[in-house]
Structure 1
């Protein structure tokens, strides 16, 4: 079995634990391949005993015969892993070395039992829908896919005027600080914080949630995930910020951005049935009420 290891800089308190996990995989005969910046960074620490393995730097040299993609870190690291996996159809599991860890399925409080479960195939694979964008403003090499959301935000003090068409049907303009277009997976992220609804991961829907709208009548909107959504923004300052998950760029106003569901899914490894509901309860305190004790 071949496992790809992806992480950014690991907090000092987790480094020895990470070394133990990697050596446990190596002793089980697993072929390890590492994200190059992470591997070189960890090699700088003399006390880190990391098994040797091949290296990759991007989606172009990630081995196509990789069986599992292991992501160590928090939600931001998990989101960044999409830029490497893209449409390679490799199942990905997140190991929480971060804070909230809503997207990471491995809880280290449970010990190392998860390692044997991963290696034996004792897990569920959930297909998570992705968002894809098309625009002339996208720099070469910029990953056009997002797992959580695509968002538009003001770059300067003035609000934006955001024009939206859904399957050619024009909506009333949004006068707001921005707009979040979220997948069901992203319904518990940025969209949730601006008042959007929570959607179970399997729901075939997309969510449009305005950011600080200057209008009492504007509400989040749920549309079918086969919708084609066209957006362009106006701003007095001539620019706006376009974000795909935790990656951002500045775009000129008037540039059309077309958003749709990607033609492939992310294979998300879940170690517990009902993991999404449990995450809502345990990490976002859903239903927290003394009467439920």
Structure 2
């Protein structure tokens, strides 16, 4: 198998887990591609890492993506996967492991199962952002949510919303959160959004501090 690896670049004390991961994958004869930023971080920590390929952004192909860090790293990897349809496995070396739920102690058993084809893939929805701002076009996908927020302490903003071209509502609020089922328990929930079953084909649109309760 060919793996593409993304990793946390500020957990120096836990970078040894990445070395363990590489040894496991090499032992299985896997091909390893690696995010250049994560590779350079490990090299700066004097870790003995040799990848078959380095890549930037979403310029990669793989049978499976590995995220090593916390849920933030997992979400970053998901943005880069976008619509490639590549499954993501999260190894949790951070604090929150809702998405990245494999512990370092479970790595050997997990990759033995993967090598033998004993695993299943859960499909999740992603959002794609299309806008005129070139700064946002580099990574236009989101696994959790897309948030439109006012700047600093300015007055509330007016957001006209349509679905498939059909007018829905105009929100007077501090912002708007558009969330996938996966993201419904994250930022969306904190601003009063509903909890959605992860595999449903649904999105939640929730205003942030709306001027009107009729939303």
Q: Verify the 8 A CA contact 2:89 2:100 in the aligned structure 1.
A: yes
1:236-267: CA deviation from partner (whole Å, max 9, x where unpaired): xxxxxxxxxxxxxxxxxxxxxxxxxxxxxxxx
Structure richer in helix, relative to its length: 2
Change (3 A) 1:123 1:207: same
1:53-72: CA deviation from partner (whole Å, max 9, x where unpaired): 32111223x1x3x2211111
* Equivalent residue runs for 1:37-186 within 5 Å: 37-46=37-46, 48-60=47-59, 62=60, 64=61, 66-110=62-106, 112-139=108-135, 141-157=137-153, 158-186=155-183
Q: Verify the 8 A CA contact 1:23 1:50 in the aligned structure 2.
A: no
CA distance in 1, matches of 2:12, 2:150: 36
Tell me the CA shift for residue 118 of structure 1.
2.4
CA distance in 1, matches of 2:107, 2:81: 27
Q: Which one of the candidate residues 186, 196, 201 is aligned to 1:199? A: 196
- TM-score of the superposition, structure 2-length normalised? 0.89
CA distance in 1, matches of 2:169, 2:51: 57
- TM-score of the superposition, structure 1-length normalised? 0.67
Change (3 A) 1:117 1:212: same
Q: Secondary structure at the match of 1:127?
A: coil
Structure richer in strand, relative to its length: 1
Q: Secondary structure at the match of 1:213?
A: coil
Does 1 or 2 have the higher relative contact order (CA < 8 Å, sep 6+)? 1
Tell me the CA shift for residue 155 of structure 1.
0.5
Tell me the CA shift for residue 142 of structure 1.
2.0
RMSD: 2.0
Larger Rg: 1
1:187-245: CA deviation from partner (whole Å, max 9, x where unpaired): 11111111111111211111011111122333xxxxxxxxxxxxxxxxxxxxxxxxxxx
The aligned length equals 214
Give the aligned partner of residue 29 of structure 1. 29
Give the aligned partner of residue 187 of structure 1. 184
Query: Which ranges in structure 1 are unaligned for 5 or more consecutive residues?
Result: 219-293
Q: Secondary structure at the match of 1:115?
A: helix
